[in-house]
Amino acid sequence: MAEAIKIDELDIEFKDEVLSKVPDANFDLCLTCGTCTGGCPASEQFGMDPRKLIRMLNLGMDDEVLKTDWKWVCSMCARCVSACPMKINVPALIFNLRANVPREKRPKGILGSCDQHIRTGSAMGAAKDDFEFTVLDVAEEIREDHPGFEELQVSVDRVGATMVLNQNSREPVTEPEEMGPLWKILHTVGADWTYPSVMWAGENYCMFMADNEGWKYIIEEFVHHVDNNLKSPVVVNTE
Amino acid sequence: MRKFKIPHKFELVTIIELYAQWIKEGKLKVNSDWNKDIKAKFTVQDPCNIGRKSGSNKIVDDLRFVIKTVVGEENFIDTVPNRDNNYCCGGGGGALQAGFPDQRRAYGRTKFNQLAVTGANYVIAPCHNCHGQIEDIGEHYGGNYHVVHLWTIITLAMGVLADTERTYLGPDLAEVGL
């Protein structure tokens, strides 16, 4: 006959560590109903699913929990916690599992994008000058070649503009022609807008990498630039 | 900013809310006349960050208002489930660059099936991550759809989309309004 698990003797460290950072993550409230798993597209990848992960966490299977690469397949979309009757915060667990991996051992693609962003202001590694050159160049082409947009205005760091727009860095770097349609809409409605030169990109891979320090740095630099240098009252997320 | 309690003076909005506002105010004059005879069918991907994770359906409802205005209500086919209950495409959270493409595509199978049953030729993906993932799973699983940015369809309806800005359109819309 199978032996009962003696709860008091379990060595449960990682759960407590995460709960110390996210006290309302509710891991202990799991009813094992599986609602999370039924609606999770990442279920079964690497033999893992949200319910299983929470069971393993609660049973102190820390080595297995920490080892699984499932934390990089889960997209932290939060469908599980939205559906969970006990509001167990699986995405917060995933974030902390990612953060537990030594920084240099996290996925190269994400690490590279995060580091580039800290260094240059965008995950694609395009620095301020490249960005400014590209957008001004594309704008000039539109003014010359696209009838009705001879007066199109595109600026970087125009102080006092009503709106500051971010832009996913894949557009200026890999498909600059995708910026024109957005600008044409802004021009047509008479929007008063500019791009920031500091942390201008819309993405944030440091967040994906669970690099709190890098994530925070990017946001702080951006907020400081908009509030103190540009003094714009509105920031527009373009995606 | 919330997570790190970073104070800021500016207000943060999404371009989707502004598109909806500008249409309602009459600043952005668009309609779906261009699609009256073509009847190109559109569906949409709800990015998790502006849907479920934003805490309300305001932005994704604005998204539907904008899409229906520019493609015609009868040419918009919603996914099931949708809005705050939508499935993630599987490309978010860094997955596109995490180095596990087989698992990422297996994850995306749910999204692919969901999009495929709408029968739409066009998927509007207002988030760049979703755009990348949905294109990739479309190619991988043999989908019959094109993935477009929202601004492409708005400017198509405005009649100002240049021939150089049509990378993602299919042959049925390649010449529309030129």
Give the whole-angstrom CA distance, residue A237 versus residue A167.
8
Please tell me the predicted confidence (pLDDT) of residue A8: 77
On whether residue A20 sits in a domain, the answer given is yes
* Beta-ladder partners of A235: A164, B12
Is the same domain home to A157 and A221?
A: yes
- Considering the domain architecture, whether residues A83 and A200 belong to the same structural domain is answered as no
Q: Please list, residue by residue across B68-83, b when 16 or more beta carbons sit within 10 angstroms of its beta carbon and e when fewer do.
A: bbbbbeebbebbeebb
The verdict on residue A217 lying in a domain is yes
Contact B158 A185 (CB under 8 A): yes
Q: Are residues A150 and A227 in the same domain?
A: yes
* Same-domain check for residues A135 and A201: yes
Compute the average pLDDT of residues B128-139: 96
Say if residue A231 is in the same domain as residue A184: yes
* A94, A115: one domain: no
What pLDDT shows up at residue B166? Answer: 97
d(CA A182, CA B152): 8
B94·A209 Cβ contact <8 A: yes
Q: What is the pLDDT of residue A126?
A: 86
Of B150, B146, B149, nearest to B173 (Cα)?
B146
| Closest of A94, A90, A118 to residue A208, by C-alpha | A94
Residue A11 binned pLDDT confidence (cut-offs 50, 70, 90): confident
Q: Domain count of chain A? A: 2
Query: What's the mean per-residue pLDDT of chain A?
Result: 95
A185-190, long-range: CB < 8 A, 24+ apart:
A185/B19, A185/B22, A185/B28, A185/B151, A185/B154, A185/B155, A185/B158, A187/A149, A187/A151, A187/A152, A187/A153, A188/B27, A188/B28, A188/B158, A188/B160, A189/B22, A189/B27, A189/B28, A190/B27
Structure token digits, residue A60: 């102190």
Tokens representing residue A110 in the block:
């994400």
What lies within 8 Å, CB to CB, of B46 at 6+ separation is B52, B60, B63, B79, B82, B83, B84, B86
Task: Report residue A1's pLDDT band, with 50, 70 and 90 as the boundaries.
Answer: confident
What pLDDT band is residue B1 in, cutting at 50, 70 and 90? confident
**pLDDT band with cut points at 50, 70 and 90 for residue A92:** very high
Q: Does residue A215 form part of some domain?
A: yes
Q: Do A239 and B15 touch (CB under 8 A)?
A: yes
Structural domain ending residue among the three candidates A101, A119, A143 = A101
- Are both A229 and A112 inside the same structural domain? yes
Is A180 touching B (CB cutoff 8 A)? yes
Instruction: Identify whether residues A216 and A130 lie together within a single domain.
Output: yes
Residue A5 lies in a domain: no
B47 at A interface, C-beta within 8 A: yes
Closest CA–CA distance from residue B164 to any residue of chain A (Å): 7
Query: Looking at residue A7, what is its pLDDT?
Result: 75
Domain final residue, candidates A101, A134, A158: A101
- What is the reported pLDDT for B145? 98
Helix (H) and strand (E) counts in chain B: 5, 4
Average pLDDT over residues A54-58: 97
pLDDT above 90 (res A88): yes
Instruction: For residue A202, give its domain range.
Output: 108-236
Establish if A2 belongs to a structural domain.
no
Same domain flag for A31 and A95 = yes
- Is there a domain that residue A4 lies in? no
Same domain, A229 and A191: yes
Among B18, B97, B111, B176, the strongest candidate for a mutation testing the A interface, having the largest count of A CBs within 10 A, is B97
Q: For residue A167, is pLDDT > 80?
A: yes
Burial class for B22, CB neighbours closer than 10 Å (0-12, 13-18, 19+): buried
* ipTM for the whole complex: 0.97
Rounded to an integer, what distance in angstroms lies between the CA atom of residue B108 and that of residue B88? 8
Q: How confident is the model at residue B87, as a pLDDT?
A: 97
Q: Counting Cβ atoms within 10 Å, is residue A189 exposed (0-12), middle (13-18) or buried (19+)?
A: middle
pLDDT in tens, A140-162: 999 999 999 999 999 999 999 99
How do residues A197-209 score in pLDDT, each as one tens digit?
A: 999 999 999 999 9
* A29 shares a domain with A67: yes
Q: Do residues A137 and A192 both lie within one domain?
A: yes
Cite the beta strand spans of A142-233 per DSSP E: 163-165, 193-194
Q: End of a domain among A45, A77, A101?
A: A101
Residue A230 falls within a domain, yes or no?
Answer: yes
Examine residue A77 and state whether it is found in any structural domain, yes or no. yes
